[in-house]
Amino acid sequence: MPILPDYAHQEKEDCMEIREITSTFKMSITISNQQSSMTLHSDIAFVEGDKLYVVPFEHNGVILNFNSGSVAISMIAYQEEKTPYLWKIVQINRETVDGVNYHVITSPMSGVKINRRENFRVFIGIDGKATVLGKEVPFDVMVKDVSESGFAILVDVTSQVKINKNEAVMIDFYDKAIDEKFTLIGRVVRAEVDERYVLYGCRLLKDNDLVRRYIANKQLANRVNSNKKKI
């Protein structure tokens, strides 16, 4: 079973209880075993005490069963423009209330704030397409990393593409690990050249809640994978 980070000594203001979650939050869970991990999203229905009731997680129209003891389940809950909270261990059961099915999430511990400095930059390493706004000619890039404030792309040094500082760039990439496509727009703030690539650092033109959630999920997946290597 993956060993997740010890947050026992987190300050109280960095913690949250399930009963403090409201309908303004969004949430996702990550299911992990020794071989892989998968992230699922759902909508919050309501909270009753220390139980979080969510719209059931489904696959091909079938409500999922989380009673297997061979997986670890964690949860991230967040509000737009605010730092996410991580519950490193949760349990999920099914319950019917007034004829409506729900998945009910509980946890023996508090959720902890995912420090912005920890997830400032997450390595991505995925091929994508980019377009300089106003030129509309797509070209190949590698998305090197993403942060809450921006992203970095790599362009082959032999490419005819040259991006000027302050030009706006739109990138599209698909992360098959979580089956999600992303479109980000940023303004070039720096360029660095090495033997193989030109690195362009871009600042996001606007705050992006999807990016915040993506970073939090990638950070969690990286921690799980790191701990698997130690086992």
Tell me the C-alpha distance between 193 and 179, whole Å. Answer: 32
% of the chain beyond a pLDDT of 90? 48
Cross-strand partners of 164 = none
pLDDT at 36: 67
Mean per-residue pLDDT of the chain: 84
Tell me the C-alpha distance between 57 and 192, whole Å. Answer: 44
Mean pLDDT of 15-28: 93
Q: List domains and CATH numbers for the chain.
A: 12-115 (2.30.110), 122-211 (2.40.10.220)
pLDDT at 121: 74
Q: Exposed, middle or buried by CB within 10 Å (0-12, 13-18, 19+), for 169?
A: buried
With H, G, I as helix, E, B as strand and everything else as coil, classify residue 22: coil
Taken in order 141, 142, 146, 151, the sign of the CA dihedral is: negative
Instruction: Check pLDDT > 80 for residue 84.
Output: yes
Cross-strand partners of 34 = none
Instruction: Check pLDDT > 70 for residue 180.
Output: yes
| Backbone torsions φ then ψ of 67, nearest 5 degrees | -85, -5
Q: Which of 16, 79, 64 is nearest to 207 (CA)?
A: 79
H-type helices in the chain, by residue range? 209-230
Residues 6+ apart with CB under 8 A from 4: 72, 74, 88, 89, 223, 224, 227
pLDDT at 179: 79
- What's the chain's Rg over C-alpha atoms? 20
- 113-124 confidence digits (pLDDT tens): 875 444 457 889
Six token digits for residue 122: 């997450």
pLDDT at 217: 75
- 160-172 confidence digits (pLDDT tens): 999 999 999 999 9
Instruction: Check pLDDT > 70 for residue 223.
Output: no
Instruction: Check pLDDT > 50 for residue 23.
Output: yes
Assess contact for 97 and 42: CB atoms under 8 A.
Answer: no
Q: Which of 167, 168, 180 is nearest to 214 (CA)?
A: 180
The CA-based dihedral angle spanning residues 13, 19, 25, 30, taken in that order and rounded to the nearest 10 degrees: 90
